[in-house]
Structure 1
Amino acid sequence: MIENRKLMMSVKKEGYVSELVIKDDPHQMNWVMEDTYLQQADYQDADKLFGLFDILANGNKASSDGLMANIKEEKDKITVTFSAKELQVKMTYDLGKNEEALFWTIQLKNLTEKEIKIEEFGIWISFAYVMFRDKNVLRNIHNSAAVFPSVSTDYTKLSAVRRDGLGENLGFYQVKGRTKSIGTYCDYRNLFFENVSPSLDGMLFHKLYLAGGYPEKFENHDWIYEKDGLVLEAGQNKVWEYVIDTNQSPEDFYNKGLKWKHPKMEYTPLNIIGETARISVRVPAGVDAIAADAFYKDDGIVKKLAIPIREKEKKRQYSLFFKPEAMGEHKVVIKLSDGTKDFVVLNVMDRIETVVEERVEYICSSLYHDENGEPPYAFEPVSNQGESLGKANLVLKKNLFGTPDVEQVRKVENCAVNYVRKKWFVDGDFRKPRKLYGDFYRCMDFEYISHLFYLLSEFGDEVLALHDAGTYLEWAADVFELRVNPDLHQEERGKEEAQMLGVYFLYFNQLLDKLKVKGMTKKYAKIQSLWEQVMDRVDKDAVTYKAAITEHYYDNAGFGPTAGALCESNRGESTRRYGELLLANIGYSNDFRAQNPDRWWEALTYMIHSLWGGVTAAAAYKVFLYLKDIRYLEASYRATAGILYCYDTHATATSPLEKGMAASTYAVAGPHINRPDLSRARFGQSTFYKDGGIFSKLFENDSQSPDWDMGEEMAAYLENFGDKTFIMEKGDSIHVINGSYEENETEYQITSFAPYSKEFYFISGNDIILIEDKKDLRRIILKKERG
């Protein structure tokens, strides 16, 4: 064991880091994976612990697993050396260079007199990204971390964020050499079909790739990140160095980066074609930014656009802005005076109203079954799970925001009356749920159905064809009561699930308000009473974070809706408690696709998940409105840029989508070690059917449409960012969320990205001030104040 003032670490005889602890941490969290836990939980992954490696040289594989570790421990330094016939790998862990940081040096030496081709060199950096198999959820909250990577040419970094959102986190910064990528390997246990609850636990092992990372001749759509190997000349000793330091927040993480000579780059993650994209750069002392270029792919060719660099009045700060000429991902690279490079990846999309309208048109024209379909009046892909109705809810929400398309609304109405009601309820009786899962039904399905009926009730009777709006409002209330009233269920499973929170936090206040306005006082009083009982219990249990457990031992599908429901029901202290989990869950990175709410199961890697990522983003937005804390607005919008990527048919660096199509999942990791073919790809979870195991039970084949559970999150997006733009002061300028701006000496011209732009807000401290409110208002002018 070695230590300095801040950190303590140990290395086992096999050569891996077994312990890395922040000394004054009240929870004494171990920030690396523990072999003792792997053994206890029966995971066979001892070869993936921190500091172990694999290498492919001249076609020959070797790994630390098959080599003897020579360990030398000094006062505040440990050196681990692995020697093979032709190569030597030496790692030094040094806590003496800085009293509050760990320096990790990696050396790869060619022991021969000939050059060696290194096709792959990967080292496990297995931070504690683990969902413990422990019903004490505090263990997963205080002793586990989300991991947010930022892979760059010369300035790769990574933030490991404790899931409680409290105390200190770890930052990992490259200070010498180049990193190609950071991949992940997932291991898990899922007992869903064995009637165990919770049923799912698992972990991600992160791997640092210094060369290669993919099978020979591997190709995918990713043109942004490097995949090549390297050559070691005769006798050459190649060196990489990283620093591990603590931080208190995302801002502190980037400021610590400046300390370790990393540029600090801020960018707008989502941009619209034809509108100004902005990047701000602050460089460390001793270097200047000398050039900037935006790389993008157009007509299958990677093109380059030079971006002028404008130095601000403050030294070492630069402003970059440009109008993109093509849609798709843009890699914006800055070159520094010392020859190094850093970059960010931002997205350029079509106008979002076009994205939404194309998606809705596709749902209604390509996914809808008419009376001759099987089953009639359903939307594909057909599923017993209520999540599959999200696409119908999106159709209705779009038609409430834009000009109603009567044919589209009536297709959904037909679906609701002639498919949904008959399928989920025996004889259409809302008190007789049908057991669609063999011997049980899911209460969670009913929240999507209630939302469907509520949205239908928002249309005028002249648009509706089968029933009037009042009837759909009654149905919405009846199904909502079934969702939240345990007394309406005969079996214990139904009674328990009725008391669980879900996505209905997105609309329940609106439903209650409408019942009251329409004079349905009995239904209003009953549901309001049930709701207060549920929230009193959740509020009381907030100190234990009980609602963070679902079928998963720790789940943003649990604590996201909980945070949203708590603020909607005016439970301030509990909102703050669960809100911190949201902030720790939503990523930050130099790549807009790695800023998503942290989740892993549906992709078996760190991923964007459209539904649960979108619901988490919506929860963060509601917490922002309640607490007036700008961090939640910024986190919600960061996440939203990733969610929209799942609907982006103009993306060039991932799996393509035809006009109007969507895919529920994007794998952030490259490589995806479990399934290299899914690296930085968009897909649906059914792709794992071919891998067997539980997936062969969950899916009938691997060709199911990848969008089965999508739509509810887009309905939530429209409710939150669909017509609103936010402006705030930042330094000597402004910052716009859900929009962009141009400026001259006297004014700012602000353009909204909202698809149905209407409202512009100015945020000043705790005040959210409505400054413009007009339908279809796309641009406003703000005069600059003169001092």
Structure 2
Amino acid sequence: MIENKKLKMSLSENGCVSNLMLKNDPFEMNWVIDSTYLKGAEYNELDKLFGSFCITVDGKKCSSMEVVPIIKEEQQKTEVIYDFSNVQIKLSYDLKTRKEDLKWCVRILNKMKKKISVTEFGIWISFAYVMFRDKNVLKNIHNSAAVFPSISKNYTKLSIVRRDGQSENLGMYQVKGGEVSIGTYCAYQNLFFENVSPSLDGMLFHKMFFAGGYPENCRNNDWIYKHYGFELEANADKSWEFVITANKSQNEFYEKGLLLNHPKIEYTPLNIIGEFVRGSIEIPLDKKIESIKAWYKEEGKIKQIAVETQPDNKERKYKFAFKPQVMGEHKIVFTFSDNTEDSVVLNVMDRIENVIRDRVGYICDKLYTGENGNPAYAFEPISNQGESLGKVNLVLKKNLLGELDVEQVRKVEKCVVNYVRNKWFIDGNFKNPRKLYGDFYRCMDFEYIAHLFYLLSEFDNSVLELNDADTYLVWAAEVFDLRVNPVLHKDERGKEEAQMLGVYFLYINELLEKLKRNGLLGVYNEIHALWEKVIDRVDKESDSYKAAITEHYYDNAGFGPTAGALAQCNKIESAKRYGKLLLANIGYSNDFRAQNPDRWWEALTYMIHSLWGGVTAASAYKVFELLKDIDYLDASYRATAGILYCYDTNATSVSQLEKGMAASTYAVAGPHINRPDLSRDRFGQSIFYRDGGIFAKLFENDSQTPDWDMGEELVAYLDNFGDKTFIIDKKDTIEVINGSFQEIDSEYIITSFAPYISKYYYISECAIIQLDSKDGQRQISIKKKK
């Protein structure tokens, strides 16, 4: 073991890092995946521990597992040397040079008397991204981390965030060497169909690629990141260096980056065509900006425009802005006087109301099966899971907030009466649910159905065709009662699930209000009492974080809705406690797509997941409303930019989607080692059908559209950012969340990105104030401070 003032680490006999710990850590977290846990949980990935590697030289593949390394240990420093016939790989772990940090160096030496070609070189950096198979959820909270990558030509960094949101984290910073990329491999166990709960555990192994990473014939649409190999002249070497150091917050992560010569770049992740893109860059003392260029893809060609800068009021800080004329991803590249480069990736979309209009039109025109369909009056893709009804809820929400299309509403109504009611309930009896999963049903399905009925009850009777609004309200109440009332279930699973929180926190207050207003006091009192009972129990048990467990051993589909529900009920301390899990779960990165709520199951890699990412974003927003803490507002909007990317049919670096289509997941990793063809691309979970196993049971084929569980998250988005824009006082300037701004003489002109804008809020240190505006007012102006 070697150690310094802050860190201690040890290596195994084969040269892998077996233990990396922060001293004085009360939870004694091992920050790397270790062989002891893998063996105990019967995982076989012992070749993927931190420091293991594979390299392909002149077509010949070698692995660290093939040789016995030479390990040289000095005081506070260890070198691990792997000798092959053609190259030598040296990994150096240095706790001496920097008293509180780990300096990690990777060096490759060409031992040949000729030039060699390295087409692939990847080292596993397996930080503790683990969902432990342990019902003691505190282990998953205090001893596991999310990993948020920022990939750059010269300034790659990783934020390794402990999931509790309150203890120290790690940051890993590139300080020498050229471009790298970060891939992942997923190992998991899922016992869903064995009626086990929790049923899912697993982990991601991260791998840093210095060359290649993809199979020879693997092609995708990603034009943003490179994955070339390199050549080494005879007897030449090439090296990379990284520093691993502790931090206590997102801000400290970036401030430590500055100290390590990393520029600090702030940017707007989501932008609208024709409106200003804004950002800022703070540079280290020894750097000068040579140029800033925005790269984008138009009509199949990669193009660029120059971006102008101007000094900010803070020394070494500059503002940049430009007005994009093309939709799609934009890579903003900053070139410095020392020939190094950094970058950010942001998105430019169509107006969101157009995106929603096109999406709802696609659902109603292309996915509706109609009278002669099989099944009739349904919306494809068909699924037993209630999440598949989210798209139908979106149709109703758009017609409540935007332009009313009576025919769209009536298609949904026919779906409800002829398909939904009889599929999920025997003879349409809401007290007799159908066991769609063999010998059980899921209570979670009912919260989507109740929401669907409630939204139908919001329409005027002149719009409805088959029943009146009051009927749908009664149906909503009955199904919601089934969702939350354990007495109505015979099986133990049903009784347990009825007491779990879920996405119904998004609409329960509105449902209760309407039941009371319409005089349905019996069912109102019953549901209200059950709601208070659940919230009181979760509030009292918040120290144990029990609600963070669902079918997964640790799940933002558990702690996300829990935080949101607690916030809705003004449970301040427990909302703070669960809220910290949200802040640790929502990423921050130089790529807007890596700022999503951390999740892995549906893509088998770190990903954007539209539904659960969107629900997590909505939960963070609810916590912001209660605590008035801008960190939650900012996190919610960062996450939202990634969610909307799943609906963006103008994206250029991923597989194209037809107008109105959507894809439920985006794989952040490059490469996605389990499925390289899915690297940095969008898809639906059914694409794993061909891999067999549990996926062959979950899906009938892999040809259905990739949007089966999408929609509910856009309903949540419309309730939060759908009609609001926030202006934040930054003393000498402003920041706009869900909008952009221009500076003109003595005022700011703010343009909202909200699709159905009706409210502008001004946030200062003193208060949050709603500004005067009219419904639909796209722009407002405010005076600058003197």
Per-residue deviation at 1:179?
3.0
TM-score by length of 2: 0.99
Give SS of 1:118's match: strand
For residues 769 and 263 of structure 2, what CA distance do their matches in structure 1 show? 34
State the 4+ residue runs in structure 1 displaced beyond 6 angstroms: none
Q: Within 5 A, what are the aligned runs for 1:723-738?
A: 723-738=723-738
Q: Within 5 A, what are the aligned runs for 1:104-183?
A: 104-183=104-183
Query: Quick one: which amino acid aligns to residue 139 of structure 1?
Result: K
Q: Within 5 A, what are the aligned runs for 1:288-367?
A: 288-367=288-367
Q: Within 5 A, what are the aligned runs for 1:375-454?
A: 375-454=375-454
Per-residue deviation at 1:217?
3.6
For residues 465 and 194 of structure 2, what CA distance do their matches in structure 1 show? 44
1:127-159 per-position Cα deviation (integer Å, ceiling 9, x unaligned): 000011111100000000000000001000000
2:504 aligns to what?
504
1:361-408 per-position Cα deviation (integer Å, ceiling 9, x unaligned): 000000012111111111011111111100110000011111211111
Per-residue deviation at 1:339?
1.1
Give SS of 1:656's match: coil
For residues 693 and 464 of structure 1, what CA distance do their matches in structure 2 show? 44
Would you say the 8 A contact 1:291–1:309 is kept in 2? no
Query: Quick one: which amino acid aligns to residue 691 of structure 1?
Result: D
1:538 aligns to what?
538
Q: Within 5 A, what are the aligned runs for 1:690-769?
A: 690-765=690-765, 767-769=767-769
1:76 aligns to what?
76
Give SS of 1:309's match: strand
Structure 2, unmatched stretches of 5+, are none
Q: How many residues of Structure 1 are paired with residues of Structure 2 in the alignment? A: 786
For residues 758 and 107 of structure 1, what CA distance do their matches in structure 2 show? 57
Would you say the 8 A contact 1:761–1:772 is kept in 2? no
For residues 194 and 485 of structure 2, what CA distance do their matches in structure 1 show? 26
Query: Quick one: which amino acid aligns to residue 501 of structure 2?
Result: L
Would you say the 8 A contact 2:181–2:208 is kept in 1? yes
2:582 aligns to what?
582
TM-score by length of 1: 0.99
1:285 aligns to what?
285
Would you say the 8 A contact 2:294–2:330 is kept in 1? yes
Q: Within 5 A, what are the aligned runs for 1:582-731?
A: 582-731=582-731
**Distance verdict in 2 for CA 1:169–1:621, change over 3 Å:** same
Query: Quick one: which amino acid aligns to residue 745 of structure 1?
Result: D
Give SS of 2:172's match: strand
For residues 425 and 692 of structure 1, what CA distance do their matches in structure 2 show? 30
Query: Quick one: which amino acid aligns to residue 74 of structure 2?
Result: E
1:30 aligns to what?
30
Give SS of 1:785's match: coil
Q: Within 5 A, what are the aligned runs for 1:444-523?
A: 444-523=444-523
Per-residue deviation at 1:768?
2.1
1:259 aligns to what?
259
The worse-fitting range, judged by mean Cα deviation, of 323-332 and 684-693 is 684-693
Would you say the 8 A contact 1:109–1:236 is kept in 2? yes
Give SS of 1:445's match: helix
Query: Quick one: which amino acid aligns to residue 566 of structure 1?
Result: L
Give SS of 2:308's match: coil
1:573 aligns to what?
573
1:494-551 per-position Cα deviation (integer Å, ceiling 9, x unaligned): 1111101110000000101111112222121111011111111111211111111111
For residues 704 and 199 of structure 1, what CA distance do their matches in structure 2 show? 26
For residues 98 and 70 of structure 2, what CA distance do their matches in structure 1 show? 25
Per-residue deviation at 1:240?
0.5
Give SS of 2:92's match: strand
1:299-334 per-position Cα deviation (integer Å, ceiling 9, x unaligned): 000000111121223221111100011000000001
1:604-634 per-position Cα deviation (integer Å, ceiling 9, x unaligned): 0000000000000000000100111111110
For residues 550 and 455 of structure 1, what CA distance do their matches in structure 2 show? 27
For residues 647 and 333 of structure 1, what CA distance do their matches in structure 2 show? 26
For residues 201 and 576 of structure 2, what CA distance do their matches in structure 1 show? 26
The worse-fitting range, judged by mean Cα deviation, of 19-28 and 292-301 is 19-28
1:465-502 per-position Cα deviation (integer Å, ceiling 9, x unaligned): 11111111111111111100001111111111110111
Would you say the 8 A contact 2:328–2:650 is kept in 1? yes
Would you say the 8 A contact 1:628–1:766 is kept in 2? no
For residues 732 and 407 of structure 2, what CA distance do their matches in structure 1 show? 50
Give SS of 2:772's match: strand
For residues 12 and 384 of structure 1, what CA distance do their matches in structure 2 show? 48
Query: Quick one: which amino acid aligns to residue 475 of structure 1?
Result: W
Query: Quick one: which amino acid aligns to residue 581 of structure 1?
Result: L
Give SS of 2:584's match: helix
1:139-185 per-position Cα deviation (integer Å, ceiling 9, x unaligned): 00000000000000100000000000011100000000023210000
Query: Quick one: which amino acid aligns to residue 579 of structure 2?
Result: G
Structure 1, unmatched stretches of 5+, are none
Per-residue deviation at 1:766?
6.1
Would you say the 8 A contact 2:773–2:780 is kept in 1? no
For residues 309 and 234 of structure 1, what CA distance do their matches in structure 2 show? 44
For residues 744 and 210 of structure 2, what CA distance do their matches in structure 1 show? 45
Per-residue deviation at 1:731?
4.3
Give SS of 1:616's match: helix
1:370 aligns to what?
370
2:99 aligns to what?
99
Query: Quick one: which amino acid aligns to residue 700 of structure 2?
Result: E
For residues 718 and 209 of structure 1, what CA distance do their matches in structure 2 show? 40
1:42 aligns to what?
42
Give SS of 1:222's match: coil
1:730-758 per-position Cα deviation (integer Å, ceiling 9, x unaligned): 24100000000000230000000001111
Would you say the 8 A contact 1:750–1:779 is kept in 2? yes
Output the aligned Cα RMSD: 0.9
Would you say the 8 A contact 1:179–1:208 is kept in 2? no
Q: What fraction of aligned residue pairs are identical, expressed as a percent? A: 67
Give SS of 2:342's match: strand
For residues 351 and 425 of structure 2, what CA distance do their matches in structure 1 show? 40
For residues 523 and 46 of structure 2, what CA distance do their matches in structure 1 show? 57
For residues 533 and 758 of structure 2, what CA distance do their matches in structure 1 show? 37
For residues 766 and 82 of structure 2, what CA distance do their matches in structure 1 show? 57
